[in-house]
Amino acid sequence: MSTININYPMPCSLEQSQEVIDDLLNDLAEKYHIHHQATGNNQYKLTGSGIKGEVKLDHDELFITARLNFMMMAFKPIIEKEIHRQLDNSFNHLS
């Protein structure tokens, strides 16, 4: 089993960050069939075929943790790169 761990600093308000995270999660669902469900304030559960994880948004940092099964391990670098790309583009656009 492989794990994705991403800690990303939040360069803007919690409300603006929430909008970026919502867009990211919707895009991951569309591209990789990684679904999300809100589990509390600024927290989401991630599920999909071969993936389970969570997203937590703090006032100054985003935490993404996902466990990938053997079949999804090959997609780890692709998914990580996509997450970082979208976060960088979105937050740079807000600055």
3 alpha carbon, distance to own chain's centre: 13
Q: What is the pTM of this model?
A: 0.88
Tokens 């800690």 identify what position?
A: 7
Q: What is the Cα gyration radius of the chain?
A: 13
Alpha helix (H) ranges present in the chain? 14-32, 76-94
Whose CA is closest to 47, among 63, 62, 27, 32? Answer: 32
Per-residue model confidence as pLDDT tens digits over 6-62? 999 988 888 888 888 999 999 999 988 999 999 988 999 999 999 999 999 988 899
Q: Which domains are assigned to the chain?
A: 2-85 (3.30.310)
